[in-house]
Amino acid sequence: MDSYDKVLLVEDKEYNMLFLQEALANYPLQLISAYDGLEAIEKVKENPDIKLVLMDVKMPKLDGYQSAKIIREYNSEIKIIAQTAYALEQEIEHFSDSFDEYLIKPISKDKLARVISKYVNI
């Protein structure tokens, strides 16, 4: 399993986390889960070989924007995709330094696969 790309799933809603885990289960990925921004930062510190983060924007403790900024301080090469139901054009432009791409909720399995395949081998 070490040869699989590591993907960090950051989502505070259990239903959404289960969807992501199920949608990605059949791909050759090592999935790591975090349920808030602070936990996400710790997971990145513990796993410097994470290639991709799927980051919910609206979370308790520390939101996705702040979490992404801190994660980039530890790993400037990591790819971070925002997951949000609230992406306005000006919001996307304003936070383009934090995120490589946005997925707008609800996310389809096909769209999820297309977007992450740009960053990891699936």
pLDDT, mean of each 10-residue run, the chain (122 residues): 86 96 97 97 97 94 93 94 76 74 91 96 92
pLDDT of res. 56: 93
| Chain Cα centroid distance, residue 119 | 11
Give the model's pLDDT for residue 12.
95
Spatial contact of 55 and 40, defined as CB atoms under 8 Å apart: yes
| pLDDT given at position 108 | 95
Helix-helix angle 37-46:64-74, to 10 degrees:
20
The distance from CA 17 to its chain's CA centroid, rounded to whole angstroms, is 11
- pTM for this predicted structure: 0.93
Long-range contacts of 71-77 (CB under 8 A, 24+ apart): 71/40, 71/41, 71/44, 72/98, 74/41, 74/44, 74/45, 74/48, 75/44, 75/48, 75/50
Which pLDDT belongs to residue 107? Answer: 93
Contacts of 27 (CB under 8 A, 6+ apart): 113, 122
